[in-house]
Structure 1
Amino acid sequence: MKLGISTYSLYQAMQAGEMTLPDVIGHIAEIGGEHAEIVPLGFDLKENPELIDTIRNQAEACGIELSNYAIGANFAGLDAAAYEREVERVKREVDVAAALGVKRMRHDVASSDELSIGRFLQELPKLAEACREIADYAAGFGITTSVENHGYFVQHSDRVQALVNAVNRPNFRTTLDVGNFLCADENPAIAVANNIGLASMVHVKDFYYRPAHRSPGEGWFPTSGGNWLRGAIVGHGDIDIPQVLRTVKASGYDGYISIEFEGMEECRKGTKLGFDYVKRIWSEM
């Protein structure tokens, strides 16, 4: 297992102008990260390709790997022309991943206000077709693409499984976020056990979870079932992280694990505390 950090975890500092992207990569190395996962929030590597060399050079100088490139995408509810444009746009992002030298790339697949299983089944063939075309293109670079359990519409473990199975490509897997299942009110320990065998990448994230009748107010967001979540330092929230990590380790998964922090605490402190916690728990198992 190689433990690292998603640049998303330090977006708060980048957004405030306190850190640059090279600073973030350096910070990840300084606190012991073995890899950095690149999430292009606040920058666009297609429009600023010179940043690609900056990222690669900084990672090499710091002695860490670049593990994954994670972008947004949506193939649901589009007319034919918009659908094709989106597929081609994501292929250009595959080119970016190849230029970065990563062998894993996550792209989202769908966003919809209607979250029913009926709507999901209606959209599934087109979602699978888009992911298959992108995976086939990525295979030429030796890249494995993936869908994350993210964005409500494809968040449940069984929906992720259905999509991965429908795509039916060896280089299309799932970026498994242990916390995001809670957004669909699914027990993370059970959901991780369901999907760890499909994982190309694992995100460790934690949340505070409150039932619908305890609406906490500012800083919280709703689950698909109307309950409430707030980002937490990994190990401080309501997810049974030790149980989740035991499941991941027992599965034989030995790839990249990224810490994702999106809490209200200062991001450098929150990220390091979560990183240190996961490193300790994993080593004690």
Structure 2
Amino acid sequence: MDLFDVIEWVAHSRAEHLELAVLADDPASPIPNLASDPGYVDRVRAAAESAGVDLSNLAMHAEFWAPGGADVGAAVARVEAYVDLAERLGITRLRHDVVAHGALPGDDTPLFEAAIEPIVAGSKQVARYAATKGVATSVENHGFFVQSADRIRRIVHAVDEPNFLTTLDVGNFVCVDEDPAVVVPQNLPYAMVIHLKDFYVRDVDPGEGWFRSRGGRYLRGAIVGNGDLDLGSVARSITEAGYEGYASIEFEGAEDCLLGIERGLANAARLLAAA
């Protein structure tokens, strides 16, 4: 499937919108990026509009801090260029990372205290630029270093821009051994987009195909509603908070991706309807 096939698939499914996640600045990539031909970008927007599929969020990597140093100015300029790309695509939400993914050894609290100033400075500059384009920006709870609920809130509060929020992935908290039923409600007031995700969680090594949480538990992606997370409680929190924005299925399981998405959509609808 190319991106136009995906848009058509979404249009004929029970889904209503589609997020785009940039993996590289590569002219051959199917996902619009800074190296894409402008004509291709325009065709993607036109195809989505014609199919009645909202392009809800553009996600991309950025690095405002690194243990060995980072070029914040260059990183900010790149993210701002992606804000322009989002505007061209008709997308009003952009998620950007703030650090590279990967756990750091030991207690990384001192490193986070050192990192938060450039993270906040870069995010604030981008948010202010994005506001001139009518785009909201966000940081996601993933990548270990900024994955915990309290670190996300600290960044959002420190940036203190009305259009800077969080892409709230309800499942990612288990990667840092937090209970989504407890911490999702804490971060819901700051959600720009919600990602619905599920995991299988084990305390004993189940074999190949699993990765480990920060605390050493074994995790594997599951179809939304099939895993071990209490998504019923999460769904109730979303409903009780009055959230009316976009919710996306993010599927990382071992099953066929279309099967995982179809069943995940059905389960998400069922969970939210029952909440």
TM-score, normalised with respect to structure 2: 0.92
Which among 24, 38, 59 is matched to residue 48 of structure 2? 59
- Give the secondary-structure state (helix, strand or coil) at the position aligned to 1:37: strand
CA contact (8 A) 1:206 1:237 kept: yes
- Residue 107 of structure 1 is aligned with which of 71, 86, 96? 96
Amino acid in the other structure paired with 2:269: K
- Cα distance, 1:247 vs. partner? 0.2
SS of the aligned residue for 2:168 comes to strand
State how 1:26-37 maps to structure 2 within 5 Å: 26-37=8-19
Within-5 A mapping of 1:72-111: 72-77=61-66, 82-111=71-100
Contact 2:171–2:199 (Cα < 8 Å) also in 1: yes
> Which residue in the other structure is 1:172 paired with?
164
Q: Relative contact order (alpha carbons < 8 A, sep ≥ 6): 1 or 2 greater?
A: 1
Q: Which residue of 2 aligns with 1:281?
A: 271
Counterpart AA for 1:67? S
Gaps of 5+ in 1: 1-18
Cα distance, 1:119 vs structure 2: 1.1
Pick from 151, 158, 168 the counterpart of residue 159 of structure 1: 151
**Alpha-carbon displacement from aligned partner over 1:119-176 (angstroms, at most 9, x marks no partner):** 1111101100000000011011011100000100000000000000110100100000
2:208 aligned residue: 218
User: What corresponds to 1:13 in structure 2?
Assistant: none
Q: Taking structure 1 as the reference length, what is the TM-score of the superposition?
A: 0.89
Is the partner of 1:160 in helix, strand or coil?
helix
CA distance in 2, matches of 1:32, 1:54: 23
Structure 2: which amino acid aligns with 1:102? I
What amino acid maps onto 2:233 in structure 1?
Q
CA deviation map 1:198-255 (0-9, x unaligned): 10110000011112xx122321111111211111000010111111010011001111
TM-superposed CA distance for 1:81, in Å, is: 6.9
What residue is the counterpart of 2:227 in the other structure? Answer: 237
* Comparing 131-140 and 224-233, the one that deviates more: 224-233
Identity %: 44
- SS of the residue corresponding to residue 46 of structure 1 reads coil
1:131 alignment partner AA: S
Encode CA deviations 1:32-91: one digit per residue, 9 max, x unaligned: 211111112444521113332222112112112111111111111277772211111111
Give the RMSD, CA atoms, in angstroms. 1.5
1:134 aligns with 2:135: no
Q: Which runs of 5+ in 2 are unaligned?
A: 24-28
Q: For residues 256 and 44 of structure 1, what CA distance do their matches in structure 2 show?
A: 21
Matched with 2:26 is none
Contact 1:45/1:51 (<8 A) preserved: no
2:64–2:70 CA contact under 8 A, matched in 1: no
The verdict on how the C-alpha distance between 1:240 and 1:81 changes in structure 2, with shifts beyond 3 A counting, is closer
